[in-house]
Structure 1
Amino acid sequence: MEDERRTRVVLLACGSFNPITNMHLRMFELARDYLEDTGRYKVVKGIVSAVGDGYKKKGLIEAFHRVKMARLATENSEWITVDAWESSQPEWVETAKVIRHHYSELTAAKKDGDDVDTVKYVKKRRIEENCVESSSYHKKREATQLMLLCGADVLESFGIPNLWKEDDIAEIVGRFGLVCITRCGSDPHEFIHRSDMLWKHRKNIHVVREWVANDISATHVRQALRRGQSVRYLLPDHVLRYIHDNRLYSAESEQNNAGVVLAPLQRYAGDPSS
């Protein structure tokens, strides 16, 4: 009966995952513990969604490899899965659209009687780009809620000019909600306090503190790999083996997209609505 009174939550993490690390996986566990400890939520699923090659980030290797590594990293998880829809798109897709896509899949699965508590359900590829009104969404307490899971760096990136659309930020935090995992040297609460928009939706932003300091970053992992240093125990063993077998992350791969403007900066620069 207690679980029935809780709001069911699916956590969605969007990012480069270049490569996926143990910290990426740890974020899901931290978020689930925090949300369920409130007594208000029951986390039923986690989704890893890797950005497509069209994002044009420096050092970004092919999405095929990043998705494969993510699947290897989560193969033993009972609740974290990998979805390749975002990574398979020919152009970069805004995070807000990715969230809408996954929310439409959740609602379609509910209508078809699928159980989102299991990671084995067959997904119905029903992509609906039209937004559902926020008011009707929040009235349905029985519906599964989708929240964006991210690190403090993503939250703070909301303040970078032309990286995000204001409307998208409002939709992400106002309509869906955000779970932010703190990292060393970051203070999400201060950033929220300084932003009028984030302050307005502060009740939808869950800041989770990692008490066991863990500052693993994919950037540092790639650097160590280029230098021939060990990164064991920073990544799942299967992922590390895949990297070595496919000779990923070299000085050459780090120059991918060098000198290319990041996709959102290309799209929003000069756009008065952004």
Structure 2
Amino acid sequence: MESHSPTRVVLLSCGSFNPVTNMHLRMFELARDHLEDTGQYRVVKGIISPVSDGCNKKCLIEACHRLEMARLATENSDWITVDSWESLQPEWVETTKVIRHHYEDLVTLEQGPDSVDTVKSAVRRVEEKSFEISSYDRKRDDPQLMLLCGPDVLESFEVPNLWKPEDVTEIVGRFGLVCITRSGSDPLKLVHKSDVLWKYRKNIHVVNEWVTNETSATHVRRALRRCRSVRYLLPDSVLDYIRQHKLYSSESEQKNADVLLALQRYRNAINS
């Protein structure tokens, strides 16, 4: 039988990273271990992509700070990087479009500039809703891009009018995702309940985190606001940066409090 080398995988994590925590970094390590244990994959890169200020999420501090903290958090990693493209966009960018952007970058690096037009043509077919899963399949030796997330993303797929159905199909059908469990979550049940997720279940990798860590950026911000210690929840370099720039005060928690969330505007648009 012909044997093939493991598929190279690039993991992409999108989110606020407000601030980045040790758990954000831990997710990458868990995902890599899980995928490589199958013998089918070799994880070659991880990408942290902070959301832009255009998201208008309450309590979201400026992207320049979130980017720098993410860079500080990953400076000792030999495979996790930080990408600024999404965070520098003037408006909030749909997750699917962020994934496509990074896919194009991967193809350009692997196949050269001449391949870009082919990929962009396929992306246009997606945007014109003539998308089929096979329409821009990668070559056998190309790396595969997977979305790294928690179970909240799978849960959000089932929220009415939150995601375009074709976007969910593209994410799980074309790219695939790795979902890290948390206490009380049941991602496999979510997959079972959804016809789309069930159809592409082989592209959804559920990773159990046996050493539970419920650290969240929300809890960290609350502790900082109350002058409580958050040491060992964040990399020391990130904590030093927060202290130096006096981030996460009671005032910053009210940022964008009266502004319509970009995601809500998006939902209103697709419902109109």
**What is the TM-score of this pair, normalised by structure 2?**
0.90
Contact 1:164 1:264 in 2 (8 A): no
Deviations 1:46-105 (A, max 9, x none): 000000011111111001100000000000000000000000000000000000000000
Contact 2:149 2:180 in 1 (8 A): yes
Contact 2:69 2:238 in 1 (8 A): yes
CA gap 1:135/1:261 in 2 versus in 1, 3 angstroms:
same
Secondary structure of residue in 1 paired with 2:270:
coil
Distance 2:79 2:136 in 1: 24
Contact 1:52 1:88 in 2 (8 A): yes
Shift of 1:162: 3.3
Secondary structure of residue in 2 paired with 1:5:
coil
Deviations 1:219-273 (A, max 9, x none): 0000000000000000000000000000000111111111333212212225249
Question: What letter is aligned with 2:245?
Answer: N
**Mind listing any 5+ residue stretches in structure 2 that lack a counterpart?**
none
Please name the residue that 1:246 is paired with: 245
What does residue range 222-233 of structure 1 map to in structure 2 within 5 Å? 222-233=221-232
Does 2:10 match 1:10?
Answer: yes
Q: CA RMSD in A?
A: 2.1
Deviations 1:174-220 (A, max 9, x none): 11001000011111111111111111111110000001011100000
Please name the residue that 2:77 is paired with: 77
Question: What letter is aligned with 1:75?
Answer: E
Contact 1:28 1:46 in 2 (8 A): yes
Contact 1:9 1:41 in 2 (8 A): yes
Contact 2:138 2:144 in 1 (8 A): no
CA gap 1:139/1:252 in 2 versus in 1, 3 angstroms:
closer
Contact 1:162 1:265 in 2 (8 A): no
Please name the residue that 1:120 is paired with: none
Please name the residue that 1:236 is paired with: 235
Shift of 1:139: 6.0
What does residue range 74-113 of structure 1 map to in structure 2 within 5 Å? 74-112=74-112
Please name the residue that 1:163 is paired with: 162
Contact 1:20 1:218 in 2 (8 A): yes
Secondary structure of residue in 2 paired with 1:147:
strand
Please name the residue that 2:46 is paired with: 46
Secondary structure of residue in 1 paired with 2:184:
coil
Greater mean deviation of Cα atoms: 133-142 or 31-40? 133-142
Please name the residue that 2:216 is paired with: 217
Equivalenced residues, count: 260
Question: What letter is aligned with 1:238?
Answer: S
Secondary structure of residue in 2 paired with 1:84:
coil
Shift of 1:147: 0.2
Contact 1:165 1:268 in 2 (8 A): no
**Mind listing any 5+ residue stretches in structure 1 that lack a counterpart?**
114-123
Shift of 1:134: 3.2
Structure 1 segments of 4 or more deviating over 4 A? none
CA gap 1:72/1:189 in 2 versus in 1, 3 angstroms:
same
Please name the residue that 1:68 is paired with: 68
Secondary structure of residue in 2 paired with 1:269:
helix
Greater mean deviation of Cα atoms: 242-251 or 3-12? 3-12
Distance 2:225 2:133 in 1: 46
Secondary structure of residue in 2 paired with 1:271:
helix
Question: What letter is aligned with 2:147?
Answer: L
Secondary structure of residue in 2 paired with 1:13:
strand
Question: What letter is aligned with 1:33?
Answer: D
Please name the residue that 1:135 is paired with: 134
Question: What letter is aligned with 1:220?
Answer: H
Shift of 1:136: 5.1
Distance 1:171 1:136 in 2: 11
Please name the residue that 1:256 is paired with: 255
Distance 2:223 2:38 in 1: 39
Please name the residue that 2:187 is paired with: 188
Distance 2:266 2:174 in 1: 24
Higher helix proportion, which one?
2
Distance 1:195 1:219 in 2: 29
